[in-house]
Homo-oligomer: A and B are copies of this chain.
């Protein structure tokens, strides 16, 4: 469907939304690698673009993290001119990342954006990397919640936390804190302390998959908002989540496959 150098009138462009995974190149799938190499132009948030080696003849269009819809529109317009464009995204583009923003832009944009070839290239999302580092905390039913109230009311987040605890889901939190909302994560832990035992393990995975990765596990009773920043993915266990101590090695946190029905 693509033709890099043919006449523009007959060319259908392509946009690939590419998941880079959580950090180092060891997480980058061959499909993602191929999409990056094939692109005439790369778009993305600056730290993600910085992970992709420069290549002759490939242009780079960096943007701020808050400009998601504008970035999506610029990449779509570029693809609509007949180019092969890659939008880079951390983790998996479909999980609290660029894929939904791109499709929102397509829905609201000019008709010819719907004619483009659109490829979403999945990646290792943060909770999978944090879980792998900690053991197998996502081994049973779980949910993923963004704690940012930029795009939804905080009351909805509170309600989801309560219902998720009642359902017995392990929970992964994305976007747990920001400078604009330093206290909401403490509120979230307070809500969970009303529903769950004090001993439930809480995993703070910061920059997992990068050289400076850091993992901490504390009981819910000791979990505090200032243990996280925007680069942290948090996993809160269920009442069934267990800790296996090991001599000379970090303990393993896992949720058994079998559930007693609590």
Contacts and interface: CB of A to CB of B under 8 A. Distances in A.
Interface stretch (A24-32, A42-50, A54-62): A24-32
A60 to B, nearest CB: 23
A121 B21 CA distance: 13
Interface in A117-153: 117-118, 120-125, 128-129, 131-133, 135-146, 151-153
B123 A246 contact: no
Given A114-B249, A244-B106, A244-B107, A129 B136 contact: no
Contacts of A25: 30
B132 A120 contact: yes
13 contacts: A28-B29, A94-B137, A94-B139, A100-B140, A114-B245, A115-B247, A120-B131, A120-B133, A151-B259, A152-B260, A159-B167, A163-B163, A164-B169
A106 B250 CA distance: 14
A259 B154 CA distance: 11
A256 B106 CA distance: 12
Interface of A: 21, 25-31, 34, 68, 92-96, 99-104, 106-107, 114-115, 117-118, 120-125, 128-129, 131-133, 135-146, 151-153, 155-156, 159-160, 163-164, 166-169, 242, 244-249, 252, 254-261
A40 B100 CA distance: 42
Given A26-B29, A27-B29, A92-B124, 18 more contacts: A27-B31, A93-B132, A95-B128, A96-B139, A96-B257, A99-B131, A100-B140, A101-B257, A104-B256, A115-B248, A120-B131, A121-B132, A140-B152, A141-B143, A141-B145, A152-B261, A160-B169, A163-B166
Contact of A122 (B106, B131, B256): B131
Contact of A164 (B140, B167, B258): B167
Nearest to A143: B143
A252 B135 CA distance: 35
Contacts of A156: 168, 259, 261
Contact of A114 (B95, B140, B166, B247): B247
A248 B112 CA distance: 12
What are the nearest 3 A-B pairs in CB distance?
A100-B139, A143-B143, A99-B136
